[in-house]
């Protein structure tokens, strides 16, 4: 166990946003429905700040850094239903700062779900009118420059909070779960999570390596091809390791990412994802979301059906949040009785 690295991490300034640790709760009916011997859910959607989710963890370090740099406005971006932008807008308001968001595509006629919350939080929302998601990166930089020229002190956060400091929030999450498991005498064989930008998976892999944890971590990609994810995760983990002064310990081959569950595209619901959402709600009373956790659960259901986890001990599903998307048009989860 590399406690030196964690000691350095603990010494970094953090803005306390989440109520930690998030709950670790067994989900026996869902386990039975899926055919898993034991399933636990690590409830980061219940992190207790700004409608929750994994992004809050990275923001604790990023917002402290913004404060240290004297920032007065946070600039970030993604798609209109971004959980990351919504959580960032809440963190900015909480810190007494402003927020500006760059979104790909065109402004929807009605602000629903996360976009509605982001505007409620007072963030300025700007649309690129370009469907290319990568254009958002240039828009973030452009808005930051514009604000600087106007005498403001902007702090830019990349899409998903996918940067070394953001990754460190998830390195802390790995230790949090490790401690909870020790306290519960639980020895998970596998941790499963949804993967978008890869920051969360990078942090969990790095943290688990530093802890010497015995569990395996498996991602289900909901956005990019698995090959691209593996390379990104490796780079992000290496950058985060460098901040802690430890060698880059994650090889691309250590990054397990399952694909085949994206469907028509990022943020577009799938039938299997919707069915997984309905199953989790009715079997266990837990809400999953159509963009990330529902598709990841659909992936888990498919993999469990192949017998992949039969001999691997308890499984922990990391619930990364995202439920506000259930309140947006386009989330077409059937509400009808079975
Ligand atoms: C962003 C997000 C993820 C994926 O996290 P990354 O660090 O971008 O891979 C998973 N679930 C939810 C609900 C998210 O908002």
**pLDDT, position 3:** 77
**Of the CATH numbers 3.30.390.30, 3.40.50.1100, 3.40.30.10, 3.30.70.20, which one belongs to the domain with range 57-160?**
3.40.50.1100
Distance CA 154, CA 225 (A): 32
Protein fold of 3-53+162-327: Rossmann fold (3.40.50)
Ligand 1 pocket, Cβ-based, cut-off 6 angstroms: 53-55, 83-84, 160, 194-201, 289, 292-293, 320-322
H or E, element range at 244: helix 226-244
Distance 337 CA to ligand 1 centre (A): 30
DSSP annotation of 106? -
Q: Are 236 and 162 in contact (CB under 8 A)?
A: yes
pTM score, two decimals? Answer: 0.97
Q: What is the pLDDT along the chain (338 residues), one digit of tens a residue?
A: 677 999 999 999 999 999 999 999 999 999 999 999 999 999 999 999 999 999 999 999 999 999 999 999 999 999 999 999 999 999 999 999 999 999 999 999 999 999 999 999 999 999 999 999 999 999 999 999 999 999 999 999 999 999 999 999 999 999 999 999 999 999 999 999 999 999 999 999 999 999 999 999 999 999 999 999 999 999 999 999 999 999 998 988 889 999 999 999 999 999 999 999 999 999 999 999 999 999 999 999 999 999 999 999 999 999 999 999 999 976 565 555 44
- Alpha-carbon distance of 238 to 327, in angstroms, equals 37
Locate the ligand 1 atom nearest the alpha carbon of residue 83 and give its number: 15
**Can you say whether the dihedral through the CA atoms of 176, 94, 113, 152 is positive or negative?**
negative
Which are the catalytic amino acids?
Answer: 82
| Atom from ligand 1 closest to the CA of residue 321 | 13
- Delimit the CATH 3.40.50.1100 region(s) of the chain: 3-53+162-327, 57-160
């Amino acid at each position: 166990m590399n406690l030196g690295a964690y000691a350095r991490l603990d010494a970094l300034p953090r803005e306390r946003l989440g109520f930690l640790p998030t709950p670790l709760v067994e989900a026996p009916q869902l386990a039975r429905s899926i055919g898993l011997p034991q399933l636990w859910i690590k409830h980061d959607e219940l992190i207790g700040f700004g409608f929750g989710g994994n992004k809050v963890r990275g923001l604790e370090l990023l917002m402290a850094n913004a404060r240290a740099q004297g920032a007065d406005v946070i600039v970030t971006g993604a798609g209109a239903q971004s959980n990351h932008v919504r959580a960032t807008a809440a963190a900015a308001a909480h810190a007494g700062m402003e927020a500006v968001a760059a979104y790909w595509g065109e402004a929807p006629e009605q602000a629903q779900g996360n976009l509605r919350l982001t505007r409620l939080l007072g963030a300025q929302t700007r649309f690129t009118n370009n469907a290319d998601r990568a254009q958002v990166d240039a828009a973030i930089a452009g808005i930051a420059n514009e604000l600087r020229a106007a005498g403001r002190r902007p702090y830019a956060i990349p899409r998903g909070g996918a940067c070394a400091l953001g990754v460190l929030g998830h390195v802390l999450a790995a230790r949090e779960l490790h401690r909870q498991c020790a306290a519960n005498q639980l020895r998970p064989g596998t941790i499963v999570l949804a993967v978008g930008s890869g920051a969360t998976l990078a942090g969990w892999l790095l943290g688990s390596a530093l802890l010497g944890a015995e569990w395996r971590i498996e991602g289900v990609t909901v956005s990019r091809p698995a090959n691209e994810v593996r390379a990104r995760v490796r780079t992000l983990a290496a950058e985060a390791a460098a901040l802690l002064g430890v060698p880059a310990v994650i090889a691309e081959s250590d990054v397990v990412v399952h694909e085949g569950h994206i469907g028509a595209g990022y943020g577009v619901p799938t039938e299997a994802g919707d069915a997984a959402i309905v199953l989790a709600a009715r079997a266990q009373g837990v809400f999953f979301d159509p963009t990330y956790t529902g598709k990841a659960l659909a992936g888990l259901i498919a993999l469990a059906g192949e017998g992949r986890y039969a001999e691997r001990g308890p499984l922990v599903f990391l619930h990364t949040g995202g439920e506000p998307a259930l309140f947006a048009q386009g989330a077409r989860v059937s509400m009808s009785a079975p």
